[in-house]
Amino acid sequence: MNNRLTIKLKSIVLDCPDIQALAEFYIRMLGWEKDFVEEGYFLDIRSPLSDVKIAFQTNTDYVAPVWPEEPGLQQQMLHIDFAVPSREDMERAVKHAILFGATKANTQYCDEWTVMFDPVGHPFCFVVE
């Protein structure tokens, strides 16, 4: 008898002041689709390639994290990695994300990934597979 509990990741939830605006950024950048909306409070988007979701929850007191981290300031709690096949594709992905409102971090530590910020300051990276 197998009593092993199976736990599957459903979504990553990002706090933000405007769920519609941040969801639209990720929809345009990733080509994902809205999946569920609880008007004014919660919204999630789904990848058309899998059951992976990114969700957005309204937080009117949201404070963007500082990166690289600085003592006494809001720290990042997580970041999302998006895979790209090559360094050339990474350059294209960075330009694509900037077109939709992302910014590239001033500090970069490696050629294998590029640190970016979404329009409200959540860090994410493009990573060469």
Claim to verify: residue 37 and residue 97 sit in the same structural domain? no
Residue by residue, DSSP assigns 66-112 as PSS--TTSPPP---EEEEESSHHHHHHHHHHHHHTT-EE-S----SS
Claim to verify: residue 129 and residue 69 sit in the same structural domain? yes
Per the domain annotation, does 3 fall within a domain? Answer: no
Q: How far apart are CA 102 and CA 10, in angstroms?
A: 25
CATH of residue 12's domain is: 3.10.180.10
Domain limits for position 50: 8-62
Per the domain annotation, does 92 fall within a domain? Answer: yes
| Residues 22-34: tens digit of each pLDDT | 999 999 999 999 9
The pLDDT of residue 60 is above 80: yes
Provide the whole-model pTM.
Answer: 0.87
Claim to verify: residue 79 and residue 45 sit in the same structural domain? no
Instruction: Show contacts of 87-96: CB within 8 Å, 24+ apart.
Output: 87/111, 87/128, 89/128, 90/114, 90/126, 90/128, 93/126, 94/126, 96/29
Query: What percent of the chain stands above pLDDT 90?
Result: 77
Claim to verify: residue 57 and residue 91 sit in the same structural domain? no
pLDDT for residue 110: 86
Contacts of 114 (CB under 8 A, 6+ apart): 90, 93, 94, 104, 105, 108, 125, 126
